[in-house]
Amino acid sequence: MSATVPAVASTKEKLLRARAAAAKLALFSSQRKNELLAAIAEAIESQAEKILEANRQDLEHSGLEGAMRDRLLLTPSRIRDIATAVREVTGLPDPIGQPLAEWTKSNGLRIRKVRVPLGVVGIIYESRPNVTVDTAVLALKAGNAIVLRGGRESALSNQALVQSMTAVAGVPPGAIELLDSATRQSVRDLIKARGLVDVIIPRGGAGLIRFVTENSSVPVIETGAGNCHIFVDCSADLEMADSIVLNAKTQRPSVCNAAEKLLVHERIAADYIPRIVNKLMEAGVEVRGDGKTRTLAAGLPVVAANQQDWHEEYLRLCMAIAIVSGVDQAIAHINKYSTGHSDSIVTADEAHARRFLRGVDSAAVYWNASTRFTDGGEFGFGAEMGISTQKLHCRGPFALAELTSSKYEIIGAGQTRS
Q: Do 207 and 234 have their domain in common?
A: no
Cα–Cα distance measured from residue 96 to residue 290, given in angstroms and rounded to the nearest whole number:
50
CA atoms within 13 A of residue 378's CA, in its CB half-sphere: 13
Q: Indicate if 183 and 269 belong to the same structural domain.
A: no
Of the given ranges (73-77, 171-175, 222-226, 275-279), which has the lowest mean pLDDT?
222-226
* Structural domains counted in the chain: 2
Flag whether 272 is in a domain.
yes
CB 389 within 8 A of CB 341: yes
Mean of the per-residue pLDDT values of the chain: 94
Summarize pLDDT for 284-329 with one digit per residue, the tens: 999 999 999 999 998 899 999 999 999 999 989 999 999 999 999 9
More confident of the two residues 64 and 368: 368
Domain check: are 257 and 244 in the same one? yes
Q: Is residue 256 part of a domain?
A: yes
pLDDT score, position 46: 98
User: How high is the pLDDT of residue 7?
Assistant: 63
- Residue 321 domain boundaries: 228-373
Which ranges in 7-153 belong to alpha helices (H)? 11-25, 30-46, 48-62, 66-72, 76-90, 130-141
Asked if pLDDT for residue 346 goes beyond 60, the answer is yes
d(CA 43, CA 91): 17
Beta-sheet pairing, 342-346 with 396-398: unpaired
Q: Which domain CATH number covers 249?
A: 3.40.309.10
- Per DSSP, the residues of 336-370 read HH--SSEEEEE-S-HHHHHHHHHH--SSEEEESS-
Which residues are CB-contacts of 349 (< 8 A; sequence separation ≥ 6)?
233, 234, 235
Which pLDDT belongs to residue 250?
96
Phi–psi pair at 173, nearest 5 degrees: -55, 130
Q: What is the mean pLDDT of residues 323-343?
A: 97
Query: Do 325 and 393 sit in the same domain of this protein?
Result: no
Predicted confidence (pLDDT) per residue in 115-158, tens digit: 999 999 999 998 889 999 999 999 999 999 999 999 999 999 99
| Residue 382, helix vs strand vs coil | coil
For residue 148, tell me if it sits in a domain. Answer: yes
Rounded-to-integer distance, Cα 353 and Cα 358, Å: 9
Task: Give residue 6's pLDDT band: very low, low, confident or very high (50, 70, 90).
Answer: low
Could you tell me what percentage of the chain is helix, strand and coil, using 3-state DSSP and rounding each to the nearest 5? 45, 20, 35
* Same-domain status, 43 and 164: yes
Q: Do 211 and 270 reside in the same domain of the chain?
A: no
Nearest CA to 199 out of 216, 179, 211, 224 is that of 216
Specify if 70 maps to a domain.
yes
pTM, rounded to two decimals: 0.84
CATH number at residue 59: 3.40.605.10
Instruction: Specify burial of residue 281 (Cβ count, 10 A radius: 0-12, 13-18, 19+).
Output: middle
| 192 close to 307: Cβ distance less than 8 angstroms | no
In this structure, are 153 and 208 located in the same domain?
yes
The mean pLDDT of 364-391, rounded to a whole number, is 90
